[in-house]
Amino acid sequence: MLLLCFDTATPRVSVAVGRDGDALAEIDLPPGRRHAEELVPAIQEVCAAGGVALDAIAAVCVGIGPGLFTGLRVGVTTAKVLAQALRIPVVGVPTLDLVAFPLRHATRLVVPTIDARRGEVFYALYRGVPGGLQRVSDYAVGSPQELAGELAALGDDVLIAGDGALLYRAEFDELEHVELAGPAAAWPRAAALLELAAPRVEREEFCAPWELEPLYLRASDAEIQWDRRGL
Amino acid sequence: MKILGIETSCDETAVAIVEDGRFVRSSVVSSQIDLHARFGGVVPEIASRAHVQLITAVIAEALVEAGCELSDLDAVAACHGPGLAGALLVGVSAAKALALAADIPYVGVNHLEGHLHAAWLEEPDLASPLAVLLVSGGHTMVVAVEDHGKYRVLGQTLDDAAGEAFDKVARLLGLGYPGGPAIDRLAREGDARAVSFPRPMMGNGFDFSFAGLKTAVAYHLRGAPDSVPADIAASFQEAVVDTLVSKLLAAADEIDAPTLVIGGGVAANSRLRERVLELAASTGRQAFLPPPELCTDNGAMIAATAWWRLRLDGPTPLDSGADPSLTLR
Ligand SMILES: [Zn+2]
């Protein structure tokens, strides 16, 4: 079963094709915030490198964020329209799950983060369970200070990762029980998406193209201001 | 040759299928007016989110209405500017995904060029050159059109677009959003000579300016709060229309155009349509006023333009993006 996977929630574009959970080809582009320009050519390149014809793909898998709104919309739109055109299902996986995935063998609390701009980070908390990680919090957005406070209150040993944690490392360096994973684990990779999505496709946990939506975690500014005015 | 055209530059999610740049097989427009009404104008982030939500359904409906399969299409096009950055990228991404899946050419289309082509969809044999007045919430310009792909912008707004002025004055009058149709309706019951609002930049080149007119209405209302709203609406509308029509005439004289054309959302204004017809009659010209559904943003104008663009410069590479400030060249 061939899967096409990509994530565009961060400044990087990552694309992979694989059979079941194993990658046949992967491209991880340098950060550039040129999602709209880069994504389709990267898909073509990955398919060529993997020797995969598009009409042989069984499902499209995409990271749905949270992350850069513009990048997310490029990825989610491309995924849903490709799936619609190829008449195949689509699987959306939260991008924080992808950042956490490489750390699944850690015995500590795993906290992936994504830079949310405006002095905030997106994050969630995961614990190791047999066979992978289990998320033990909601997907959240907050200041690094808030997150550091939350982790300090928990008192558990923590492995924190992602570009949000790297950007605000000073906040987390101070905490004795928190270790920062290196830059190698900072970005979501389509290869991780492939491994996470394959069992879901197997179990038919996908959605119809028109149902797929980005995980924004933030209302638009206009709605936020409108709600404040209503108070 | 069948082309599917996608338009998502502002607050309409629109998809159409046009054959040979001429025959509209389907044209679906999903308007977001209700989503933006409470904010009194288009909110870019809300528009972008709605496009993502709606795009697959609108594509599906356009295919069904045209009785087409994806495999029947010969090319796919999207508006790639000018417009709202986040909104444009949804249409561009959708079009490129379709082009990739169906292995057909992709064409990025300039929104303004799309508006110019709307006239030819109904009337392919218009005598050139055309003097075109493009007026909407996003643009206000007069353009000399020699032929497909041959345009010259003679003048444009230096500040607000005409449609923006309508929205702002409608808000001053408490008429809600969108302002254009509301003022058009109310103005029919008012006296257009009740207040003599300024005619900005009349007789002064081809450029427009509407910011001062909006301010003049605000000052007037402050000084005379008991003014009859219908009179204000009619007087304001007359000032805008006077300005638009005079610039269109100046442009037509400049290029010796036998044909006058209007396009854009404000081209649906009934008083503007009336006055352009009068202008054509009094100067011995032909006027072409496309039906309102072709004046406002739609996918058919994108698909029709793409047919010509494909013949003139071939497909657009798949590594191209969107340009929110694309100009007409
Ligand atoms: Zn327009």
Residues of A in contact with B322 (CB under 8 A): 36
CA A223 to chain CA centroid, Å, is 25
Q: How far is the CA of B289 from the centre of ligand 1 (A)?
A: 16
pLDDT more than 90, % of chain B: 88
> With contact defined as beta carbons under 8 Å apart, do B125 and B254 qualify?
no
Nearest CB neighbour to A78, from listed B45, B49, B93: B93
Q: What is the mean pLDDT of chain B?
A: 95
Is 0.90 surpassed by the pTM of this model?
yes
Domain limits, chain B: 2-115+294-313, 128-257
- Secondary structure of A46-95 in HEC code, one letter for each residue: HHHHHCCCHHHEEEEEEECCCCCHHHHHHHHHHHHHHHHHHCCCEEEECH
pLDDT band at B329 (very low <50, low <70, confident <90, very high): confident
CB contact under 8 A, A85 and B93: no
CA nearest A40 in B: which residue? B318
CATH of domain B128-257: 3.30.420.40
- Give the type of residue at B170: A
Residues of A in contact with B57 (CB under 8 A): 210
> With contact defined as beta carbons under 8 Å apart, do A64 and A212 qualify?
yes
CA nearest B322 in A: which residue? A36
Q: How far is the CA of B254 from the centre of ligand 1 (A)?
A: 25
Residues of A in contact with B83 (CB under 8 A): none
Interface test with A, best of B53, B98, B100 (most A CBs within 10 A): B100
User: What tens digit of pLDDT does each residue of B51-63 get?
Assistant: 999 999 999 999 9
pLDDT band at A227 (very low <50, low <70, confident <90, very high): low
CB contact under 8 A, B97 and A216: no
Q: Among B126, B128, B121, B110, which residue's Cα sits nearest to residue B306?
A: B110
Q: Cβ of B37 under 8 Å from any chain A Cβ?
A: no
Q: How far is the CA of B296 from the centre of ligand 1 (A)?
A: 6
User: What tens digit of pLDDT does each residue of A63-113 get?
Assistant: 999 999 999 999 999 999 999 999 999 999 999 999 999 999 999 999 999
Q: How far is the CA of A141 from the centre of ligand 1 (A)?
A: 36
pLDDT at A228 over 70: no
Question: ipTM higher than 0.90?
Answer: yes
Q: What is the pLDDT of residue B204?
A: 77
- Give the type of residue at B211: A
Q: Cβ of A37 under 8 Å from any chain B Cβ?
A: yes
DSSP code at position A185: G
- Tell me whether the CATH fold assigned to B2-115+294-313 matches the one assigned to B128-257: yes
The neighbourhood of ligand 1, an ion, using CB within 5 A, equals B 136, 297
CB contact under 8 A, B97 and A78: yes
User: What tens digit of pLDDT does each residue of B213-256 get?
Assistant: 999 999 999 999 899 999 999 999 999 999 999 999 999 999 99
Q: Cβ of A222 under 8 Å from any chain B Cβ?
A: yes
CB contact under 8 A, B56 and A81: yes
CA nearest B86 in A: which residue? A70
pLDDT band at A230 (very low <50, low <70, confident <90, very high): very low
CB contact under 8 A, A70 and B89: yes
Across the A:B interface, residue pairs with CB atoms under 8 Å apart total: 97
Q: How far is residue B302's CA from residue B299's CA, in Å, rounded to a whole number?
A: 5
User: What tens digit of pLDDT does each residue of B162-192 get?
Assistant: 999 999 999 999 998 889 999 999 999 999 9
User: What tens digit of pLDDT does each residue of B99-155 get?
Assistant: 999 999 999 999 999 999 998 998 889 999 999 999 998 899 999 999 988 999 999
CA nearest B91 in A: which residue? A77
Q: How far is the CA of A96 from the centre of ligand 1 (A)?
A: 38
Q: How far is the CA of B8 from the centre of ligand 1 (A)?
A: 10
Thinking of the domain B2-115+294-313, which architecture would CATH place it in?
2-Layer Sandwich (3.30)
Query: Residue B208 contacts by C-beta under 8 Å, 6 or more apart in sequence?
Result: B140, B141, B155, B156, B157, B158, B162, B200, B201, B243, B244, B247
Query: Residue A89 contacts by C-beta under 8 Å, 6 or more apart in sequence?
Result: A59, A60, A83, A201, A204, A206, A207, A208, A209
- Secondary structure of chain B in HEC code, one letter for each residue: CEEEEEECCCCEEEEEEEECCCEEEEEEEEECHHHHHCCCCCCHHHHHHHHHHHHHHHHHHHHHHHCCCHHHCCEEEEEEECCCHHHHHHHHHHHHHHHHHHCCCEEEEEHHHHHHHHHHHHCCCCCCCEEEEEECCCCEEEEEEEECCEEEEEEEECCCCHHHHHHHHHHHCCCCCCHHHHHHHHHCCCCCCCCCCCCCCCCCCCCECCHHHHHHHHHHHHHCCCCCHHHHHHHHHHHHHHHHHHHHHHHHHHHCCCEEEEECHHHHCHHHHHHHHHHHHHCCCEEECCCHHHHCCCHHHHHHHHHHHHHHHCCCCCCCCCCCCCCCC
Cβ atoms within 10 Å, residue A6: 26
CB contact under 8 A, A226 and B320: no
Q: How far is residue A94's CA from residue B180's CA, in Å, rounded to a whole number?
A: 42
Ordered structural domains, chain A, with CATH:
2-95+188-229 (3.30.420.40), 96-185 (3.30.420.40)
pLDDT at A229 over 60: no
Nearest CB neighbour to A86, from listed B49, B59, B101: B101
